[in-house]
Structure formats: structure tokens, C-alpha cells
Amino acid sequence: MISRPSDCVLVTVTGKDQPGITSRLTGLLAEAGAELLDVEQVVVHGRLTLCLLVRLPEARGVLKELLFAAKELGVELDFQAVDAPTSEPEGAGPRRYVVTAVGRVLGARELHALATRLAEHGANIERITRLTETHLGSVEIHITLPRGKDPDMLKRSLLALSMQESSFDVALQREGLFRRSKRMVVMDMDSTLIRIEVIDELARAHGVGEQVAKITERAMHGEMDYDESLRQRVALLAGLDMAVLRRIAADLPLTEGAETLIRVLKRLGYRTAVISGGFSVAAEALKAKLGIDYAYSNVLEEKDGKLTGRTLGPIVNARRKAELLETLAQAEGILLDQVIAVGDGANDLLMLERAGLGIAFRAKPKLREAADTSISAGGLDAILHLLGLTGRELAEAR
């Protein structure tokens, strides 16, 4: 039987929130034999908005009863006849995404810029939820994108917006099974988990800072590959006392939010790993300090307490990073879609592409454009909001 449009009514209730409002109204609907098709309720600063989509029986006296009940409860009630909802074939409707904005403070200007950018790409906002507890610092926006609209274009547009504004980060993720079921986070070390490049610190301590910097610059300009640049830079460290390396490793400056991120992830049962093109002494020190589950990096050869200027074993380059990520996921029985990879440099790109969610952290524009999303305005703990965690949930996890 096809329902007439008038069979369906959208009931909207607004007013001061108090216990018992939803109970009273749904009770009247149940007694009248109305069919509840949809419901949404939100409370903002003590003010309630409750929407009930119902299919009414032929006797419409229940609407009068609802109005009387609302008056007794001290709330406003409005109703409007709407078309009956129609079911669409699987995969035929608009695609659903989640946009997460994270900043120190999000004001009207920031949200206006974000909403305008979404509208320009035909995205319809269905729900906005505040994630931070004490201030408006992060919101999660659920949107639908019509078929035929390119989500990659929207992603690039949102990236450009965050680079332009510089006060907040914006991430676009497909809403689906794996968005909130991530199980592993893999991170680069230098300039990601820590604020420095360990090799630069070692070079300065050994008096070869300028030579190492020149080799790094040549590699960045594509004049030599990563493996060769690492060999040449490590060769310049020959003769450096291991005590210097151990002293630097013992006092590594953590990136803002790193301790919070690892602590919460561990509390929630995530597996964590460092996969770095840096050096094992530093990576192992971080592993011990933060309780990280795995650490993979380059091993510096030493003899008689000094560096020989060579590495041992395979070099942890871009390809090796991606391979290690896959190996770890397989060993833990975790799907790649459930892995988050975080990095800042070009040698992190393959690792970010292999993961279900690749995050460019305070990275150069090229990596930011290639990654799934980026974080530049906030600390590493902003990743927790990308998982959909609210401030209240983070407080519990801590």
C-alpha cells in the first residue's frame, strides 16, 4: 500500500530541556498507534530540539493531545505534513562523509568559511556535533555528497582552505565501517613524534652540520635518492662518540600532544609503532618512554664506543616503511583499512598511501596534497578527534 504524503508528519519540539519530555510525547504516539519512522534529539546549552517523523493513524486526535502535552511541559510544538520517506537501492543514494575541523578555537568566521566551501561542492550538511568539551575547538560535520560530485576535489578544496586559514585543520573521511574501527597507529619519528631531526643534532655535535645539511638539500631536490643521501650523511658521523647519541636520545623533545595521543591509544587498546628513517637508539628510547609496541629504524654500526659511519641491515627507506606497515598489520591480524599512518616527509608517502588513513603532519604541501588528510595547526592529539572521540570520551580514556 502506497502512503499518501499527508500520512507522514514531522513533529518538532523546542524549549527548555527537562527529564520526561521525550517519554511523554512518545507515549502519546504509542497509545494512538502512530508509527515512528525517524527521530533526532539534541540539547544545546540547555535548549532542546526534538524531531519525530511519524506516520499517523486515520484518527488525527493525537496531534491535539501532543499540543496539550507540550503546553503542560512548557515547550513549543510544531507539526508539518511531509512526503513519506522512500527507500533507495543499495548504493544509489548520496555518499556519506564526515568532515572534522580541529583548531585552537573555532568561531563563526571559521565555520562560515567551512560551510561555504562545502556548499560550493554541493555537499549537504546533515549534522554538526561538537567534539571538544570546554570550548568550541573541534566539530564533526556529517555531510552527504551527490553522486557525480568528486570527493577528491572536495578534499583538495578543504585542504586549500586549511592552508589559507592556518588556524584550523580540516579532514574529510568516508563514513563507513572502518572510520571508527581503526586498531593501529604507525608514526614517523623525526619531525613527527619528536620536534627535531636526530641526524642534524648528531652532525652539529660532531662539527659536520653544514655538510650534512647540503646533502639533505640535494636529496630534497631529487639529485640523489634517499639511500645514498643517508649513506653519505652517516659517513660524516664516523668517529662520533656513542655517548653523544645516547645523551640526545635520552632527552628527545616530544611533539605537542604526543604523550596524550599514545596514552589514550594504549588505553583504548590500539597497537602503536614507530617506523622511522632515523636511528634505532632514539627510536628504542621513545618506545621505552612512551610504551610504544614496535620500533623500526636504521641501526648505526659502532666499534669501540664510536660510530663507524655505516649502518647495519636494510635501510628503512620509503618502500621499507610501507613493507613494515603491512608486515605489522598482518602480524596483528589487522586490516590495512584499520591502520593510521602519520608522517611529515616524502619518504613517508608510500606508508601513508598503504594505510587506511594517511595523515601528513606539519608536512610540506606536496605530501599534504597526496595524503588522505593533514594536521598543521594542532598537535598530534588532534588525531584523536579524527577518530570521532569527544572531549568527554578523551577525559575518560585519560
E strand or H helix that includes residue 154 = helix 151-165
8-state DSSP, 190: B
Place of cell 659536520: 208
Helix (H, G, I), strand (E, B) or coil at 348: helix
Q: Which of 169, 188, 227, 381 is catalytic?
A: 188
Instruction: Please give the C-alpha separations between residue 306 and each of 221, 244, 332, in angstroms, as whole numbers.
Output: 31, 10, 37
* Closest to 185 (Cα-Cα) out of 296, 371, 329: 329
Known catalytic residue: 188?
yes
Residue 340 is placed in which grid cell? 593510521
Exposed, middle or buried: residue 52 (CB in 10 Å: 0-12, 13-18, 19+)?
buried
- Edge-to-edge strands, sheet with 124-130: 124-130, 138-145, 95-103, 168-174
DSSP assignments along 15-61, one per residue: EE--TTHHHHHHHHHHHHTPEEEEEEEEEETTEEEEEEEEE--S--H
Catalytic hit among 7, 190, 227, 348: 190
Q: Which residues are 173's β-sheet partners?
A: 98
Amino acid letter, residue 368: R
Segment (H or E) for 392: helix 391-397
| Strand positions, DSSP E, 146-249 | 168-174, 184-187
H or E element that contains 206: helix 198-206
Q: Which residues contact 214 (CB under 8 A, 6 or more apart)?
A: none
d(CA 223, CA 260) in angstroms, rounded, equals 39
143 Cβ contact partners less than 8 Å away, ≥ 6 residues apart: 96, 97, 98, 99, 118, 123, 124, 125, 126
What residues act catalytically?
188, 190
